[in-house]
Amino acid sequence: MHYPITLLPGDGIGPEVSQAAVAVLEATGLEFRWDQQDAGLVAVEKGLPTLPAPALESIRNNRVALKAPITTPVGKGFSSVNVGLRKALSLYVSLRPVRSWPGLETRHRDVDLIVFRENTEGLYAGREHEIVPGVVEALKIVTREASLRIAQYAYDYARWTGRHKVTVIHKRAVMRLSDGLFLDCCREVARKYPFIETEEMPIDQVAMNLVLDPTRFQVLLTDNLFGDILSDLCSGLVGGLGIVPGANIGDECAVFEAVHGSAPDIAGRNKANPVALILSAALMLHHVGAHQEANRIETAVARVLAEGRVRTGDLGGKASTTEMTQAIIDALPSPVETLS
């Protein structure tokens, strides 16, 4: 079987880490049919929009994409590739699994949580205008439809992965109508899952508790702005964005991505850490049902990080991108070993 995948190699360190992720994926023995497409700065340099129509069409056809970091050029008229993908493909779920890795020294151990962020509305809907000179109004858009579907996905995912607690994050005391609607929708969905504990917590209390003891959380469910902030905070608890995968998922398509930047200062120097995109690739395999191969990749990453012999500069080592990639490939357990 061949898996048809759209590949967006991006720019900056994107081509290097995407090459690494492809190498690890193919080392599992699975067969892929890659459809490489340009987006972002690379597309603009070719006289194309930041998100060309062929790239979108490819994702719609393949239903799955692997996306490396992409730069949106700074300047009038250029739109964000990430926002464009979410809107065009209705990728309403932002999923960020965050876990501790053996061998990486951080303040907290045994962190294992998932941030679910509603991806299409809230303050990030971009509805703002100047009322009079010096006064700007931004609208926070919250709909019942969007709130119900992100809650439904989060509770289903909790059930699928054996998690028994969901924390719904809000600021209802201040935004009584908008956060009130979001909270009411989450409660409506939660009633269908009496076997999953639901707690409701204001955003400021969640931020404090994450710093004090993130292990008390399993699934965080929240809106666009709060989710954007908290997902990066959670990444910082386990070592940073360089070891955390990400996904944007809709009913028909899904885009799996490294959520760190394109790091143009080290582009082409074989110094980039490929782990985040490799783990995003494993997340992609879980999505398409190739769980055994996904588990093998995650096990290999854990082995390399735990051993500590091969690490890129951001992880305290001196290894190159290719050395880190090869170490992960060499650490892949056999299918028989994984089953045992």
Please state the rounded mean pLDDT for residues 31-55: 92
Q: 107-238: same fold as 1-96+241-340?
A: yes
Please state the rounded mean pLDDT for residues 5-26: 96
Please state the rounded mean pLDDT for residues 110-115: 96
Question: Tell me, what's the pLDDT at 71?
Answer: 82
Fold of the 1-96+241-340 domain: Isopropylmalate Dehydrogenase (3.40.718)
Kindly list the domain boundaries of the chain, sorted by start residue.
Answer: 1-96+241-340, 107-238
Q: Residue type at 248?
A: N
Please state the rounded mean pLDDT for residues 287-293: 96
Residue 76 has pLDDT above 60, yes or no: no
Please state the rounded mean pLDDT for residues 181-205: 97
Question: Tell me, what's the pLDDT at 34?
Answer: 98
CATH 3.40.50.300 fits 107-238, yes or no: no
| pLDDT over 70 percentage in the chain | 97
Prediction pTM value? 0.94
Backbone Cα Rg of the chain: 20
Residue 156 has pLDDT above 60, yes or no: yes
3-state secondary structure of 173: coil
Question: Tell me, what's the pLDDT at 340?
Answer: 46
Question: Tell me, what's the pLDDT at 339?
Answer: 52
| pLDDT over 90 percentage in the chain | 85
Check if the beta carbon of residue 85 is closer than 8 Å to that of residue 248. yes
The two tokens of residue 39 are 């987006």
Residue 204 has pLDDT above 80, yes or no: yes
What's the pLDDT tens digit per position in 113-134?
A: 999 999 999 988 778 899 999 9
What's the pLDDT tens digit per position in 85-101?
A: 999 999 999 999 999 99
The two tokens of residue 82 are 């990430």
Question: Tell me, what's the pLDDT at 338?
Answer: 59
CA atoms within 13 A on the CB side of 219: 28
Comparison of pLDDT for 125 and 148, the residue scoring more: 148
CA angle 289, 157, 213 (to 5 degrees): 125
What's the pLDDT tens digit per position in 225-248?
A: 999 999 999 999 999 999 999 999
3-state secondary structure of 330: helix
